[in-house]
Amino acid sequence: MSPLPTRPHAGVAIVTGGGRGIGRAIALAFAAEGLDVAVMSRSQDQIDSVKAEIETVGRRAVAITCDVSNKTAVNAAVARVREKLGPITVLVNNAGIHLAKRFSTVTDDEWQRIVAVNLTSLFYFTQAVLPDMEAANWGRIINMSSAAGRMGVPYAVPYNATKHGVIGFTRGLALDLARTGITVNAICPGWVLTDMVRANAEGLAANRGITLEQALESLVSTSPQKRFVEPEEVAHVAVMLLSDSARSITGQEIGVDGGIVVA
């Protein structure tokens, strides 16, 4: 029997949507674990700030603005990471957008945009980094789904559809790569008080004719723990998945949701 692959002493991670919220927490947690990190986002100011935070703990970092829905832009960004930091062995597909409105009012452009960002971007980034992982016989691909990928959420059909799709992508890819030393998993956060969740609450408020505060209370009331999940709680799971002890964890959807899905 061949020896089990082990994590390289030093690794390079890409975190999309890394400028704030969950992505920022993961990028900083990875740096604390000794990884060099490329953070990507649409906001240069946000990722520059995260880059500076990573560098304060002695790790290398690059901050790259990237349209994750554009294959040419993704390939160029990945090539820049290789040039600056080296081969990529960890990928966190975290970038995502939300749309809070009644299904009957969703336009073609809105549907195509959310599918491109929330789902097609995983295809682009994973294909771009996979040669590095295969060459290393080791890799970790972590896809950010959502509790909404495991259940229905009102006024969020496009988001529901894409986050269910993330789980399907994760399961299929995990089987494709099962004998390569590369694991593929999805994390499914519940309500984390990020800008995206605030935007969702604003849409919910508009659709139901209630205040933003009432909408936020409505969201958190669905959690058996009656609280929002902290970004660092999600990051802790991502760090756990880097471990060699987690090498048999693949193709999984891991809930960090305070029990929403089972309530």
Say whether 159 is catalytic: yes
Rounded Cα distance, 97 and 120, in Å: 13
Among the listed residues 30, 159, 191, 228, the single catalytic one is 159
Nearest to 125 by CA among 111, 112, 144: 144
Rounded Cα distance, 236 and 242, in Å: 10
Rounded Cα distance, 174 and 154, in Å: 30
Contact present, 23 and 94 (Cβ < 8 Å):
yes
Q: Which residue is listed with tokens 């309530």?
A: 263
Which sequence positions are flagged as catalytic?
159
